[in-house]
Structure 1
């Protein structure tokens, strides 16, 4: 794993706040612009403490998040890639969960497939998990993810996917390695290495019906695009371009991570986290009332829960 990519991911948990917090080593010289952007994207949500049904999952003490970070506690992040539409807040097209443990020097990373059928917390319905954002915004989406995983989530990052495309253009595009040729959105994506602009990157990441792995294949392409953006952001040294990136972040990202927390992540966490372990949630497709869902078994949810619990355990350290 290349060092620049690793540092980027660690810097923001999922990848985009790093552009504001540590772009190419130059952004901290633009302290005023960075802080202004951090303040603009900061959007707290109603504080809730999820209590797991698993008695071995302890509730964190009631301290400020910054105090927990300074004590090098592990933390969790959910990244919501939102496909917003006119007169519609949209749906969370992408849900990525990260569990960061500095003592183990590792990150656990996985997608929750958008069609996963689950209880929508606060809405009184059972539906696709990506509908939670449409029904109740970030808070409902976060609460629903916590319930599905039976594990508390500390932070969220919401990304507007159209703004994400603009970021890709500012960065000069992204390079991907397409495993198979496909046609989508009136564009042919050939097999092999590709250089994509922002609009094509979004098309590339959205196709799923012609993918042999369906939504899992799309999730993998979305992760690939995000990782390439993170890697490219740390290679930038042009001050004018950095300022453009910061401006675009302010228009495209919201998070409950504060400016002080971003600084702490960059200064105290990034060098200690060398391993990123990616897992996938498996399930089976099922038609219910003429709607297709991914059904995740109780055993599979318990498996992911146990992986989270093991990753977040402060009593175990990496060998």
Structure 2
């Protein structure tokens, strides 16, 4: 009898010891993840400075209180000895009360006032002229809404992020060839190099820039989905390394934690839309012209989503004579 009790006691001690190792190991793993995330957050954090802020808020956004907020997503194609231009311009408005995210793509050739430069030009030139700050100010003025945060992605390193999450899944609706790679119609799994080619093609798409924007949104959605999955924990080192090298934002780690904890379910309800206009040559340069009524309609839609009052202020699209 005593021998049986002793054996059971030994088994219990062994089981508890094994559990202890797993618990301690899990704690060390959790600490390692947190430490590395914290270090990455510091590397990618780049506050905005010297902003004109054409559209100011009456009170500062507080993520802890689940306030609606906006984010400017810039995909910058950097080249050697060239800062590059923001060829991808996407504005997200996030509203936890409406349980939704509005996702607007702005064509890079959109003709508008470049705030801080005093000229009328393509909206994507704002980044080349004045970095993130001028891009935020210009988009803010164009849409008539405050831009609270930005996320800038280096498109050359974009493929590293895709590879780090194990590739992306997209549903292609147009067969085309780009960079010697053929993309068939249907569900596709793409690696980083393929995703970059897939997201850049526009000349062979009858929808032009809008077709390209749609493919970019697909990839962003897939990255978010993959990054949020539990399987990404096993490759978190690769993900953080790719992020630290290719991304900048004015969001702090505390901001990111608040968004993850208080807004996380909203990513399943993203409403994508576009701003309509027409292409036109002006002085030998191709521009995308957005009618004022369309710009106002889009502006008011975003304001409503941010729970801000509608306005009727116009935006300059022609250089004063």
TM-score normalised by length of structure 1: 0.83
**Residues 1-319 of structure 1: pairs in structure 2 closer than 5 A:** 30-46=33-49, 48=51, 50-52=53-55, 59-61=57-59, 63=60, 65=61, 68-237=62-231, 239=233, 241-271=235-265, 275-313=269-307
- Give the distance between the partners of 1:107 and 1:28, measured in 2 at CA: 32
CA distance in 1, matches of 2:218, 2:138: 25
1:171 Cα deviation after fit:
2.1
8 Å contact from structure 2 (residues 73, 90) kept in 1: yes
Matched residues in 2 for 1:109 and 1:288: separation? 29
Larger Rg: 2
Per the TM alignment, residue 274 of structure 1 is displaced from its structure 2 partner at its CA by: 5.4
State the Cα deviation string for residues 69-118 of structure 1 (Å, max 9, x = none): 22221111000011111111111011110111112211111101111111
Cα distance between partner residues in 1 of 2:267 and 2:190:
29
Q: Aligned residues, how many?
A: 281
Structure 1 unaligned blocks of 5 or more: 1-25, 53-57
**3-state SS of 1:97 partner:** strand
Report if the CA contact (8 A) 1:75-1:99 is conserved: yes
**Cα distance change, pair 217–28 in 1 and its aligned pair in 2 (3 A):** farther
In 2, Cα distance between equivalents of 1:215 and 1:272: 27
Q: In the aligned structure 2, how far is the partner of 1:273 from the partner of 1:188?
A: 30
Distance 2:195 2:45 in 1: 26
Which runs of 5 or more residues in structure 2 are unaligned?
A: 1-28, 310-321
* Cα shift at 1:217: 0.5
Which one is further off, 251-260 or 185-194?
Answer: 185-194
**Greater shift after overlay, 39-48 or 212-221?**
39-48
Hey, what's the Cα distance between the residues in 1 that align with 2:72 and 2:152?
9
Give the match's secondary structure for 1:286.
strand
Report which stretch shifted further, 26-35 or 151-160: 26-35
CA distance in 1, matches of 2:189, 2:234: 23
Greater displacement, 232-241 / 217-226: 232-241
Deviation at 1:132, TM superposition (A): 0.8
In structure 1, what is the Cα distance between the partners aligned to 2:109 and 2:139? 13
The CA RMSD over aligned residues, in Å, is 2.0
Q: Is the 8 A contact 2:164 2:242 kept in 1?
A: no
- Do the aligned residues in 2 keep the contact of 1:108 with 1:277 (CA within 8 Å)? yes
Higher relative contact order (CA 8 A, sep 6+): 1
Task: Give 1:49 deviation, angstroms.
Answer: 6.5
Q: Per the alignment, in what secondary structure is the counterpart of residue 195 of structure 1? A: strand
| Change in CA separation of 1:69 and 1:60 when aligned onto 2, cut-off 3 Å | farther
